């Protein structure tokens, strides 16, 4: 048998060991972690909806009406009126004929790639795609290739060399660990030219980017028709849980018939769908959250520049600070925590070797004072920890 203990010890030595902290209350900027209060900059609750009183109240009402669990898969009798209404409202929000709920974004991506690909097809992916998209491509049975990050030219060259095959391009909209956006217009042009499908997973952009919160496509001014398959998740900007795929009727019916991660799993609790419907209402009716978030992003980037910290070309709430070695990133994160600030150290294999980083995320529920506190802490801790081991 393999020596698990030795492998774990090696992982620890390399600074790659992962462990969990325990959250003692709701997902808010000031939160209880391991029994103490910290100011957190690592949640994906970008709009501050995870603990919004109206979302919480809708969740309660959903439970009163539907009970706790859905009881079965969507295709048996677990597909409730709440799920159906949410699908219609999500489709309307993203401007597509239909939407289909999945239990998680991971499952949505696996479902899309496996339902749309056949053996002999080609899947092309950005090298920095989210793990669920990479796994989806590997599981699809198609020939799997990656192109350099955000390199639509390489993507097109690869398409051209597979002229005779069906091809699927999979990309994050807003990249989860780098915070930059994919060159969607260029990828769409390449897809159109070679009759390939473009699938955009906009887990981090939806609700957050664009005037109306319609995500990376709206932010970049890309035509909906150029992205025939849009994946969204509900556990980030929406503040709840779950995911969806949006597109035309044939796409959605194909997924219902063939996506195994849709068919062979229990539907999410209907109350979660009721809570998400309320999140969506707030996303549509209260654009001030996006505006406030953008103000905070500008404040952080300007302040970082003043203290000589290099931030990448991130455009949204994900603002990584590159550190390099995993041990140094962990040291930074631990020193920040000692100062009451929680920021995750992201290390391989989540990101490529040599690019360990602090992944700062901002939320509309942060204040300008919170960002000031963050900048003060970064200015003293990062220069110390990034060079020497703290
Ligand atoms: C978080 C994330 C997912 C997974 O979504 P879950 O609902 O958490 O499973 C998929 N794609 C991207 C780009 C993500 O960031």
What is the CA(231)–ligand 1 centre distance, in A? Answer: 9
The predicted structure's pLDDT at residue 91: 98
pLDDT digits (tens, 9 = 90+) for 124-182: 999 999 999 999 999 999 999 999 999 999 999 999 999 899 999 999 999 999 999 99
What is the CA(7)–ligand 1 centre distance, in A? Answer: 28
The predicted structure's pLDDT at residue 341: 97
Residue ranges of domains in the chain, CATH in brackets: 19-48+287-386 (3.90.1150.10), 53-285 (3.40.640.10)
Question: DSSP letters of 217-276?
Answer: HHHHT--GGG-SEEEEESSSTTSS--EEEEE-HHHHHHHHHH-HHHHTSBPPPHHHHHHH
Q: Is 204 a catalytic residue?
A: yes
CB-ligand 1 contact for 215 (6 Å cutoff): no
Alpha carbon separation from 206 to 103, 108, 252, 299, 338 (Å, rounded) = 17, 15, 19, 22, 33
CB-ligand 1 contact for 176 (6 Å cutoff): yes
- H or E segment at 98? strand 98-102
Set 80, 176, 356, 365: catalytic member: 176
Alpha carbon separation from 151 to 90, 167, 180, 234 (Å, rounded) = 30, 17, 13, 28
Q: Is 298 a catalytic residue?
A: no
Q: Is 166 a catalytic residue?
A: no
pLDDT digits (tens, 9 = 90+) for 16-46: 899 999 999 999 999 999 999 999 999 999 9
pLDDT digits (tens, 9 = 90+) for 7-17: 999 999 988 89
> What does the block give as tokens for 335?
């020193």
The predicted structure's pLDDT at residue 390: 46
CB-ligand 1 contact for 104 (6 Å cutoff): yes
Look up residue 78 and give its DSSP letter: I
CB atoms within 10 A of CB 298: 11
Virtual CA dihedral for 126, 117, 95, 273, nearest 10 degrees? -100
pTM (2 d.p.): 0.96
- The residue among 180, 211, 201 whose CA lies nearest residue 301 is 180
Distance of alpha carbon 221 from alpha carbon 78, whole angstroms: 37
What is the CA(169)–ligand 1 centre distance, in A? Answer: 17
What is the average per-residue pLDDT within 62-81? 98
């Amino acid at each position: 048998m393999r020596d698990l203990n030795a492998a774990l010890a090696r992982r620890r030595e390399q600074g790659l060991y992962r462990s969990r902290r325990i959250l003692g209350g709701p997902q808010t900027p000031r939160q209880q972690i391991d029994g103490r209060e910290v100011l957190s900059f690592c949640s994906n609750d970008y709009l501050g909806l995870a603990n919004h009183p109206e979302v919480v109240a809708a969740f309660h009402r959903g439970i009163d009406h539907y009970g706790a669990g859905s009881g079965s898969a969507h295709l048996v009798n677990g597909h409730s009126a709440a799920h159906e209404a949410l699908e219609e409202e999500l489709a309307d929000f993203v401007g597509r004929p239909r939407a289909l709920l999945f239990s998680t974004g991971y499952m949505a991506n696996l479902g899309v790639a496996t339902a749309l690909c056949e053996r002999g097809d080609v899947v092309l992916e950005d090298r920095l795609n989210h793990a669920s998209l990479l796994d989806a491509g590997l599981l699809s049975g198609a020939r799997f290739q990656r192109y350099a990050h955000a390199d639509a030219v390489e993507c097109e060259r690869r398409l051209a060399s597979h002229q005779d095959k069906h091809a699927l391009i999979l990309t994050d909209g807003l990249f989860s660990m780098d915070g930059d956006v994919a060159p969607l217009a260029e990828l769409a042009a390449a897809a159109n030219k070679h009759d390939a499908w473009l699938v955009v997973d906009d887990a981090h952009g939806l609700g957050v980017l664009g005037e109306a919160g319609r995500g990376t496509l709206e932010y970049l001014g890309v035509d909906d028709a150029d992205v025939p398959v849009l994946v969204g998740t509900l556990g980030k900007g929406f503040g709840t849980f779950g995911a969806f795929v949006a597109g035309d009727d044939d796409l959605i019916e194909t997924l219902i018939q063939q996506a195994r991660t849709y068919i062979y799993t229990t539907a999410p609790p209907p109350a979660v769908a009721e809570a998400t419907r309320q999140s969506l209402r707030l996303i549509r009716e209260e654009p001030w959250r996006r505006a406030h978030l953008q103000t905070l992003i500008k404040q952080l980037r300007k302040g970082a520049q003043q203290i000589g910290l290099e931030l990448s070309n991130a455009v949204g709430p994900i603002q990584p600070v590159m550190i390099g070695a995993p041990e140094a990133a962990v040291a930074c994160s631990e020193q920040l925590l000692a100062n009451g600030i929680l920021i995750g150290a992201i290390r391989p294999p989540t990101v490529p070797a040599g690019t360990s980083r602090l992944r700062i995320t901002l939320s509309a529920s942060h204040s300008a004072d919170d960002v000031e506190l963050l900048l003060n802490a970064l200015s003293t801790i990062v220069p110390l920890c990034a060079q020497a081991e703290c």
